């Protein structure tokens, strides 16, 4: 598989599907990098991927037999949920509990909103069927499974045209025997059903969370399976027999076969790769503490990398686009217990629309002009004032064209929109209004960053902000200044950074086993046994994928919490659980807890679960140091234009560089334009292009 | 700075920035409580609120947490100011819970941290949290059948829990001795404390960046802004006086209906809400302090407003609320108040009933009538340790102008979550045997109400004290504009044995193996049930949310064996039913 040494002839390809473009990155041999963008192909996204791969292979002059791996970040899972195009799905539950899925956690996303519409569940009530069985909280069987009822439920679901079935029983996380038996019965009598068993997927407490996770899995499964099968067939048609690896929501690379069984682990596949790439970029540049900021047209996302470790979460809610407030309020989305990179997302992006309300307050977003009609300056009939229009008025963005000339800009339309929607109602100039729109947008986006830092007790000032996405570099320095961050890193390949990130990833297997027990010395042997079991399982899985022992890294973790709390913290432990382990482990938990929450409790500490992450280090992965895509070191100022950085100083004449012509070191104010983005360097900031073509910016004191 | 002609603010952009900062502070405070509190009622049910006040004690911003805390802080801070004058120092923290000195009911502990900038008091960070026990005669301190505040638990007047940063050990020791689960209570107090400090730090950063004079002037601007937004909206409402009366079943001692009457007078951009005509104070613990009545009134008005005005004191300037002293909505000492949340829900129902006459498209028909509280307290068989389960059952909304009421949803008066069955069973000697929708409990209407929930508890410990607080057992959630009322609440003890029907409010010892089944009321319907789209009726029947009988009798829809509406038979039946009405 992809473990072949990076010989001159070997080729690795990564493909990332976005709403508008599918991005491709190809690495040939030891470091030659090619990139490409092709238009996405909506409902048959594999067409763009295959098309793009064909094109980029031709450009590189390679054939399918040279390809040793194809890496893929897919939005198929999130799109299936967003557009509700999944399989007709059924649910089998414990008698008395068929409404758990629909009741959820009962909160509403907003207060005072009597017009709220609760989203329809993925499984309607008629397809949620109950069977007699009951497991107690300690795992004991209280009522045996009524097998005849299972068969009857199967028949009824079949009559309804159901093709995918989730099974979730109360307390199955303590004893999954009944769920397993249902799996056997369905496989035997209804072989056409795809079946998802909740505890096999995620053996953790909380019935709504587990049910919802199983249902999302069941709902997406046939779609994901069909898609990956078509993609594999298409790759074979291109002569590529190398394994297809898919990015999981937690940022690891996983064999396509796993994604076909457990698609719920791949819902956030796309965004995760960008964060993994940023982590790898940080490693290459010896920066361990990073805030990752990805700004798109309608939303902005943030994630945290601390001490080289990506911040992950075990639960998240997918809501049409936005996920930050849902950290606080679970409502109106699809909840999943699945290891996921902790990405906070807010509804503010380049296309967010600004308006002034009747009381004279500026609002920006969450309404967005999207790609159609887009900002006013696109001249496609949009007349709303967007964040992009504000950036055009302020001189940050090229007043004539963007994206290397492929997108014409009409600066006059931006000014008109900002004037009529913001400046006139407020009685200020267009430039002041534009500054206001930009600042409000920045504040909204800063909330995503605060969500992954301040709300975790992490001080963002100690971090480096890595920004990508088409608009990230336009706002990065302002956001950094707002949060007291001094260092900003704008990666080379910013426009295809997510795809590049995949090439930097590792193969990953995450395994978890519940182990609810008080943390004390007596638990040592059980902890050791459980961790060893999971570690062996992880090693076996990695060995099967062709990794030798020295290419594997196994991380063991114990999830701990205070009794009576529900927030657990994972503490990494050594391979051997020695006698006398409990007190130091408790102390490490208390330290970790205090760091986040600022106090120490006297309460007893309990173990929730043990967790093992196995990583297989891929030979030949992109390390962000060995390639160079654009020459740097020129000294030519391409042009100058009037740019406003602050109200007090007004418009100032500002040099505009093409990325390739940027001097080794330069001091702002200046603008750096490249094919896929524009970097705004404020007055006093010092920018330096490093060996790999990344821009490193130091902000003033 | 640019002086604007059109905008009321000296600098509309800085104004927006500072407003955003206030919102961020209270939201981050709310998140901090959720993550650091110890008890389930705070961590999982999220019964708490976070607020930022200026130096006068006026609310500047409040997080989107429990709406029923909206008007509570002003009266509380007034009591704190009355108790301490300007005797505040940096590092002080004041707590209180006494309903007769600014509080709401004893489990709600208010915590205020005065914030100093340049040696001057500049505001307060505030966290109000519902504690899982405050001592008194029953676990949870939430009984509906107490008759005096003295039975309800540990009363705390405004006192300093920290003085210049030093903990008041006396007060901490008193908490330890007066509550059943001191670790949880003190843990939650520490969470409140950490959160107040976190809010303080962020609030101070604003002062450092902009200076005291600027921040103060923008606070004034922010209150004015909220007032303007509220006033504009009320100005568009028809002037006049509108009354509505709803009922609580009884106070737990008597089944005599307890009327709550709201009279709303709209005059220009101002509202007056008068609860004259409501019941005199009652023996049971459902009396409500006036501060809580204000909270419920404000939030009802907020619910029918279009604009997203900030939650601050400016909104309250447009709304006057009064209730006669000695009434159950403004009681005299020593009336018991622990279960006053129920009264709050009914005030909201009453207010929405009156508002339906003013802004008929903005309201909903009555919902389930407030969450049901089931409290089981005792000692664990295996460990001998005390346990207190406080479980809340939410809920259903009434039908609305263009959509059905939601089912499986928090009452809009709070934004509470629920306790997972598996968490509950792992922690308490209790098993949940059923949790789901209650068929046919919705009020029929062009847009039907949401279904109530059914939840059945079985006790596994040798014995426990059961406290039940439910309502709508005699006064169903009303429908609007022709919509029918939702089904009444029913409570059944031991449905599998003698199936004893028990009242809505109950305090009783139960034994191992006993079970309680609660059938919650459903939401009322909105509009004529005979105008409901037969396809929607069919879908409900297919989903077994309603029975075929309900479809026929209440909606006049005749369904085939496969749940398809029979158009001709339906038209005929509907004509019949209409004829019978006249």
- Residues A280 and A390 occupy one common structural domain: yes
Gap between the Cα atoms of B536 and B524, Å rounded: 17
Whether residue A384 contacts residue A421, with contact meaning beta carbons closer than 8 Å, is answered with yes
Q: Cα separations (Å) of A655 from A434, A475, A696, A698? A: 21, 18, 18, 18
**Count of beta carbons in the 10 Å neighbourhood of residue A482:** 18
Q: What percent of chain A has pLDDT over 90?
A: 55
The reply to whether A498 falls in a domain is: no
Name the domain boundary from A451, A485, A519. Answer: A485
The reply to whether A623 falls in a domain is: no
- Residues A249 and A304 occupy one common structural domain: no
Q: Given a cut of 90, is residue A95 above it in pLDDT?
A: yes
C-alpha of A628 from chain center: 26
- DSSP for A445-484, written as a single string: HHHHHHHHTGGGT--GGGSEEEEESTTHHHHHHHHHHHHT
Q: How far apart are the first and last CA of chain A?
A: 49
B414 Cα to chain A: minimum distance (Å): 8
**pLDDT value of position A319:** 74
Per the rule left: phi > 0, alpha: psi between -120 and 50, beta: everything else, B384 is left
Chain A residue with the nearest C-alpha to that of B407: A103
Q: Report CB contact under 8 Å: B305, A112.
A: yes
Give the three-state DSSP class for A522: helix
The reply to whether A410 falls in a domain is: yes
Name the domain boundary from A220, A235, A255. Answer: A220
Q: A550-569: string of b/e by CB count within 10 Å (b at 16+)? A: ebbebbbbbbbbbebbbebb
Q: Which domain holds residue A243?
A: 11-81+225-266
Chain B residue with the nearest C-alpha to that of A451: B28
Chain A residue with the nearest C-alpha to that of B434: A96
The burial class, CB within 10 Å (0-12 / 13-18 / 19+), for A12 is buried
The reply to whether B555 falls in a domain is: no
- Read off the DSSP letter of residue B284: S
Q: Given a cut of 50, is residue A634 above it in pLDDT?
A: no
A·B CB contacts under 8 A: 224
Tokens of B277: 């005509």
Q: Does A601 touch chain B (CB under 8 A)?
A: yes
C-alpha of A338 from chain center: 12
The answer for A 306-365 residues in CB contact with B (under 8 A) is: 327-330, 356-362
The reply to whether A26 falls in a domain is: yes
Q: Cα separations (Å) of B259 from A472, B14, B144, B329, B485? A: 59, 48, 17, 11, 17
The reply to whether A516 falls in a domain is: yes
Name the domain boundary from B228, B263, B291. Answer: B228
CATH number of A437's domain: 3.30.420
Residue-wise pLDDT tens digits, A567-597: 788 899 999 999 999 999 999 999 988 777 6
**pLDDT value of position B179:** 96
Gap between the Cα atoms of B574 and B437, Å rounded: 27
Q: Report CB contact under 8 Å: B28, A603.
A: no
Name the domain boundary from A211, A239, A266. Answer: A266
Whether residue A608 contacts residue A560, with contact meaning beta carbons closer than 8 Å, is answered with yes
Residue-wise pLDDT tens digits, A417-466: 999 999 999 999 999 999 999 999 999 899 889 888 877 778 888 899 99
| pLDDT grade for A49, boundaries at 50, 70 and 90 | very high
- Residues A480 and A542 occupy one common structural domain: no
Q: Kindly report the CA angle at A55 between A50 and A58, in degrees rounded to 5?
A: 125
The reply to whether A166 falls in a domain is: yes
**pLDDT value of position A486:** 95
Nearest by CB: B2 against A102, A124, A432: A432
Q: What is the mean pLDDT of residues A487-496?
A: 88
- Length, in residues, of chain B: 582
CATH number of A156's domain: 3.40.1360
The reply to whether B330 falls in a domain is: no
**pLDDT value of position A326:** 41
Query: A interface mutation test: which of B15, B20, B48 has the most A CBs within 10 A?
Result: B20
- Residues A315 and A463 occupy one common structural domain: yes
**Count of beta carbons in the 10 Å neighbourhood of residue B185:** 25
The reply to whether B48 falls in a domain is: yes
Gap between the Cα atoms of B176 and A468, Å rounded: 53
Whether residue A561 contacts residue B37, with contact meaning beta carbons closer than 8 Å, is answered with no
- Residues A382 and A333 occupy one common structural domain: yes
Whether residue B443 contacts residue B479, with contact meaning beta carbons closer than 8 Å, is answered with yes
B236 Cα to chain A: minimum distance (Å): 13
Which residues in chain A are closer than 8 Å to B4, comparing Cβ atoms? Answer: 426-428
Rg (C-alpha) for chain B, rounded Å, is 25
Q: What is the mean pLDDT of residues A367-371?
A: 79
**pLDDT value of position A595:** 75
Q: Given a cut of 70, is residue A329 above it in pLDDT?
A: no
Residue-wise pLDDT tens digits, A535-575: 999 999 899 888 899 999 999 999 999 886 777 888 999 99
A564 Cα to chain B: minimum distance (Å): 6
Q: How far apart are the first and last CA of chain B?
A: 69
- Residues A532 and A478 occupy one common structural domain: no
Q: Report CB contact under 8 Å: B194, A597.
A: yes
Q: Kindly report the CA angle at A97 between A96 and A101, in degrees rounded to 5?
A: 160
Gap between the Cα atoms of B204 and B196, Å rounded: 12
Name the domain boundary from B176, B206, B228. Answer: B228
Q: Where are the beta strands (DSSP E) in A187-289?
A: 194-197, 244-247, 253-255
- Residues A524 and A608 occupy one common structural domain: yes
Gap between the Cα atoms of B241 and B314, Å rounded: 23
The answer for A 39-78 residues in CB contact with B (under 8 A) is: none
Write out residues in chain B with pLDDT < 70, as ranges. Answer: 1-10
Residue-wise pLDDT tens digits, A663-692: 889 998 999 988 778 999 999 999 998 888
The reply to whether B453 falls in a domain is: yes
Gap between the Cα atoms of A699 and A686, Å rounded: 7
Q: Given a cut of 90, is residue A470 above it in pLDDT?
A: no
- Residues A284 and A208 occupy one common structural domain: no
Q: Does A561 touch chain B (CB under 8 A)?
A: no
The predicted complex's ipTM stands at: 0.91
The reply to whether B143 falls in a domain is: yes
The reply to whether B359 falls in a domain is: no
Per the rule left: phi > 0, alpha: psi between -120 and 50, beta: everything else, A247 is beta
- Residues A335 and A458 occupy one common structural domain: yes
- DSSP for A608-625, written as a single string: EEEEEEEEEPPTT---SS
- Residues A278 and A401 occupy one common structural domain: yes
Query: B interface mutation test: which of A91, A94, A97, A106 has the most B CBs within 10 A?
Result: A106
**pLDDT value of position A632:** 40
- DSSP for B407-470, written as a single string: EEE--TT-------HHHHHHHSSEEEEEEEE-TT-SPPSSBPPPPPEEEEEEE-SSEEEEEEE-
**pLDDT value of position A367:** 85
Which residues in chain B are closer than 8 Å to A136, comparing Cβ atoms? Answer: 425, 431
- Residues B39 and B186 occupy one common structural domain: yes
Q: Kindly report the CA angle at B263 between B261 and B264, in degrees rounded to 5?
A: 140
Question: Which of A66-70, A184-188, A495-499, B219-223 is the least confident region?
Answer: A495-499
Q: What is the mean pLDDT of chain A?
A: 88
Which residues in chain B are closer than 8 Å to A597, comparing Cβ atoms? Answer: 32, 35-36, 194
Gap between the Cα atoms of B502 and B491, Å rounded: 6
Closest CA to B463 of B373, B372, B387: B387
Q: Does A109 touch chain B (CB under 8 A)?
A: no
Nearest by CB: B30 against A116, A328, A447: A328
- The domain total for chain B is 2
Q: Report CB contact under 8 Å: A362, B20.
A: no
**pLDDT value of position B189:** 95
Residues 6+ apart with CB under 8 A from A251: A272, A273, A275, A276, A279, A310, A312, A341, A505, A508
CATH number of A578's domain: 3.30.1490
- Residues A341 and A196 occupy one common structural domain: no
A520 Cα to chain B: minimum distance (Å): 17
Q: Report CB contact under 8 Å: A436, B415.
A: no
Nearest by CB: B307 against A136, A357, A603: A357
Q: What is the mean pLDDT of residues A510-514?
A: 85
Q: Report CB contact under 8 Å: B6, A116.
A: no
**pLDDT value of position B71:** 80
- DSSP for A553-567, written as a single string: EEEEEEEEEETT---
Whether residue B146 contacts residue B152, with contact meaning beta carbons closer than 8 Å, is answered with yes
Q: Which domain holds residue B370?
A: 364-532
Residues 6+ apart with CB under 8 A from A583: none
A407 Cα to chain B: minimum distance (Å): 31
Query: B interface mutation test: which of A114, A120, A211, A461 has the most B CBs within 10 A?
Result: A114
Whether residue A350 contacts residue A409, with contact meaning beta carbons closer than 8 Å, is answered with no
Which residues in chain B are closer than 8 Å to A117, comparing Cβ atoms? Answer: 403, 406
The reply to whether A497 falls in a domain is: no
**Count of beta carbons in the 10 Å neighbourhood of residue B282:** 23
Q: B393-421: string of b/e by CB count within 10 Å (b at 16+)? A: bbbbbbbbbebbbbbbbbbbbbbbbbbbb
| Alpha helices in A263-365, H assignment, sequence order | 269-284
Tokens of B499: 């199936």
The reply to whether B348 falls in a domain is: no
The reply to whether B556 falls in a domain is: no
The answer for A 393-432 residues in CB contact with B (under 8 A) is: 424-429, 432
Instruction: In chain A, count H helices and then E strands.
Output: 17, 36
The burial class, CB within 10 Å (0-12 / 13-18 / 19+), for B539 is middle
pTM over 0.95: no
Rg (C-alpha) for chain A, rounded Å, is 26
Which residues in chain A are closer than 8 Å to B229, comparing Cβ atoms? Answer: 357-359
Q: State which of A395-404, A449-458, A601-610, B466-475 shows the largest mean pLDDT.
A: B466-475
Tokens of A284: 């290459």
**pLDDT value of position A599:** 67
Q: Report CB contact under 8 Å: A100, B436.
A: yes
The reply to whether A584 falls in a domain is: yes
Tokens of B70: 């909206």
- Residues A307 and A426 occupy one common structural domain: yes
B195 Cα to chain A: minimum distance (Å): 9
Q: Report CB contact under 8 Å: B422, A114.
A: no
Query: B interface mutation test: which of A90, A107, A112, A650 has the most B CBs within 10 A?
Result: A112
- The domain total for chain A is 5
**pLDDT value of position A41:** 81
Residue-wise pLDDT tens digits, B384-428: 788 889 899 989 999 999 999 999 999 998 878 888 999 999 989
Residue whose pair of structure tokens reads 């029975």 in the numeric block: B547
Q: Given a cut of 80, is residue A312 above it in pLDDT?
A: yes
């Amino acid at each position: 598989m992809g473990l072949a040494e990076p010989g001159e002839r070997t080729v690795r390809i990564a493909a990332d599907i976005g709403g508008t473009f599918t991005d491709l990155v190809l690495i040939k041999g030891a470091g030659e990098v090619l990139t490409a963008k092709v238009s996405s192909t909506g409902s048959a996204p594999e067409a763009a991927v295959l098309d793009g791969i064909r094109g980029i292979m031709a450009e590189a002059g390679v054939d399918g037999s040279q390809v040793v791996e194809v890496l893929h970040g897919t939005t198929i899972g999130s799109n299936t949920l967003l557009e509700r195009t999944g399989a007709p799905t059924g649910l089998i539950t414990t008698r008395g509990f068929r409404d758990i899925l629909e009741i959820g956690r009962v909160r509403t996303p907003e207060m005072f909103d009597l017009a709220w519409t609760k989203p329809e569940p993925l499984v309607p009530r008629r397809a949620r069927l109950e069977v007699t069985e009951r497991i107690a909280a300690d795992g004991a069987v209280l009522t045996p499974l009524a097998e005849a009822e299972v068969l009857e439920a199967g028949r009824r679901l079949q009559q309804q045209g159901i093709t995918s079935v989730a099974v979730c029983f109360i307390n199955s996380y303590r004893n999954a025997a009944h769920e397993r038996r249902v799996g056997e019965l369905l496989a035997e009598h209804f072989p056409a059903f795809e079946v998802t068993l909740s505890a096999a997927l995620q053996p953790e407490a909380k019935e709504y969370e587990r049910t919802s996770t199983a249902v999302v899995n069941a709902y997406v499964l046939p779609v994901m399976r069909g898609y990956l099968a078509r993609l594999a067939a298409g790759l074979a048609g291109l002569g590529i027999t190398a394994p297809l690896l898919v990015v999981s929501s937690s940022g690891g690379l996983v064999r396509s076969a796993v994604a076909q069984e457990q698609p719920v682990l791949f819902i956030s596949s796309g965004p995760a790769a960008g964060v993994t790439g940023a982590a790898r970029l940080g490693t290459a540049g010896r920066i361990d503490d990073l805030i990752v900021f990805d700004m798109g047209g309608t939303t902005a996302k943030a994630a945290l990398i601390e001490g080289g470790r990506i911040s992950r979460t075990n639960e998240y809610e997918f809501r049409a686009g936005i996920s930050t407030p849902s950290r606080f309020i679970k409502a109106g989305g699809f909840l999943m217990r699945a290891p996921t990179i902790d990405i906070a997302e807010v509804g503010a992006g380049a296309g967010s629309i600004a308006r002034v309300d009747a009381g004279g307050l500026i609002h920006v977003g969450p309404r967005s002009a999207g790609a159609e009609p887009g900002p006013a300056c696109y001249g496609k009939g949009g007349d709303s004032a967007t964040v992009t229009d504000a950036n055009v008025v302020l001189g940050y963005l090229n007043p004539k064209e963007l994206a290397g000339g492929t997108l014409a800009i009409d600066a006059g339309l931006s000014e008109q929109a900002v004037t009529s929607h913001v400046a006139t109602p407020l009685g200020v100039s267009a430039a002041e209004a534009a500054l206001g729109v930009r600042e409000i947008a920045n504040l909204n986006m800063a909330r995503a960053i605060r969500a992954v830092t301040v709300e975790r007790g992490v001080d963002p000032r100690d971090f480096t902000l890595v920004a990508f996405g088409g608009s990230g570099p336009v706002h990065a320095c302002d956001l950094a200044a707002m949060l007291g961050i001094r260092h900003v890193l704008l990666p080379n390949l910013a426009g295809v950074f997510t795809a590049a990130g995949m090439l930097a990833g590792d193969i990953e297997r995450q395994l978890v086993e519940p182990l609810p027990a008080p943390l004390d010395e007596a638990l040592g042997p059980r902890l050791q046994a459980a961790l060893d079991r999971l570690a062996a399982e992880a090693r076996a899985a990695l060995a099967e994928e062709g990794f030798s022992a020295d290419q594997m890294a196994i991380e063991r973790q114990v999830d701990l919490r205070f009794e009576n709390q529900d927030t657990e913290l994972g503490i990494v432990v050594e391979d051997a659980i020695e006698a006398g382990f409990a007190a130091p482990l408790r102390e490490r938990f208390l330290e970790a807890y205090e760091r986040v929450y600022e106090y120490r409790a006297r309460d007893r500490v309990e173990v929730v679960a043990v967790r093992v992450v196995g990583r297989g280090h891929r030979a030949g992965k992109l390390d962000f140091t060995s390639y160079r895509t654009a020459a740097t070191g020129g000294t030519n100022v391409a042009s100058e234009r009037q740019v406003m950085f602050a109200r007090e100083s007004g418009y100032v004449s500002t040099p505009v560089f093409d990325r390739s012509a940027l001097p080794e070191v330069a001091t702002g104010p200046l603008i750096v334009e490249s094919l896929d983005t524009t970097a705004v360097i404020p007055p006093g900031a010092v920018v330096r292009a490093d060996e790999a073509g990344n821009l490193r910016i130091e902000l003033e004191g | 700075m640019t002086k604007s002609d059109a905008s009321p603010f000296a600098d509309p952009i800085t104004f927006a920035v500072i407003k955003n900062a206030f919102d961020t502070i209270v939201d981050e405070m709310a998140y901090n409580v959720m993550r650091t509190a110890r008890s389930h009622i705070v961590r999982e049910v999220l019964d708490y609120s976070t607020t930022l006040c200026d130096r006068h004690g006026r609310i500047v911003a409040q997080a989107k947490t429990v709406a029923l805390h909206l008007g509570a802080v002003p009266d509380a801070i007034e009591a704190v100011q009355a108790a301490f004058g300007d005797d505040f120092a940096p590092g002080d923290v004041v707590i209180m819970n006494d309903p007769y000195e600014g509080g709401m009911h004893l489990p709600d502990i208010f915590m205020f941290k005065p914030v100093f900038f340049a040696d001057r008091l500049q505001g307060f960070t505030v966290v109000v949290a519902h504690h899982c026990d405050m001592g008194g005669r029953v676990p949870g301190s939430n009984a509906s059948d107490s008759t005096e505040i003295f039975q309800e638990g540990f009363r705390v007047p405004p006192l300093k829990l920290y003085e210049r940063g030093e903990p008041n050990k006396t007060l901490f020791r008193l908490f330890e001795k007066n509550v059943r689960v001191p670790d949880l209570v003190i843990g939650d107090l520490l969470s409140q404390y950490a959160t107040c400090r976190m809010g303080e730090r962020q609030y101070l950063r604003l002062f450092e960046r902009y200076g005291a004079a600027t921040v103060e002037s923008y606070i004034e601007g922010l209150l004015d802004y909220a007032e303007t937004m509220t006033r504009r909206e009320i100005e568009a409402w028809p002037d006049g006086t509108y009354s509505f009366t709803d009922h609580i079943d009884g106070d737990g001692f008597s089944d005599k209906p307890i009327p709550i009457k709201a009279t709303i007078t709209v005059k220009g951009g101002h509202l007056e809400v008068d609860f004259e005509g409501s019941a005199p104070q009652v023996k049971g613990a459902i009396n409500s302090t006036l501060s809580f009545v204000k909270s419920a009134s404000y939030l009802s008005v907020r619910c029918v407003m279009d604009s997203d005005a900030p939650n601050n004191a400016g909104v309250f300037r447009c709304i006057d609320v009064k209730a006669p002293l000695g009434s159950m909505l403004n009681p005299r000492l020593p009336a018991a108040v622990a279960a006053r949340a129920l009264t709050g829900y009914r005030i909201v129902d009453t207010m929405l009933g009156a508002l339906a006459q003013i802004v008929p498209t903005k309201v909903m028909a009555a919902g389930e009538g407030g969450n049901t509280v089931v409290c089981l307290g005792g000692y664990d068989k295996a460990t001998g340790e005390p346990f207190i389960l406080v479980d809340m059952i939410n809920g259903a909304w009434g039908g609305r102008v263009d959509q059905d009421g939601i089912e499986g949803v928090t009452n809009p008066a709070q934004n509470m979550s629920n306790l997972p069955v598996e968490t509950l069973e792992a922690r308490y000697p209790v098993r949940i045997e059923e949790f789901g929708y209650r068929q046919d409990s919705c009020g029929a209407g062009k847009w039907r109400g949401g279904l109530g929930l059914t939840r059945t508890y079985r006790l596994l410990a040798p014995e426990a004290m059961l406290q039940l607080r439910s309502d709508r057992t005699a006064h169903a959630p009303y429908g609007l504009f022709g919509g029918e009322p939702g089904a009444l609440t029913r409570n059944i003890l031991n449905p599998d044995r003698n199936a004893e029907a028990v009242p809505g409010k109950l305090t009783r010892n139960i034994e191992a193996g006993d079970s309680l089944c609660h059938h919650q009321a459903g939401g009322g319907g909105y509009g004529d049930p005979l105008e409901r789209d037969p396809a929607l009726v069919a879908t409900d029947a297919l989903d077994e949310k309603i029975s075929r009988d309900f479809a026929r009798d209440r909606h006049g829809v005749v369904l085939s064996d496969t749940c398809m509406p029979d158009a001709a038979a339906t038209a005929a039946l509907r004509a019949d039913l209409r004829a019978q009405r006249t």
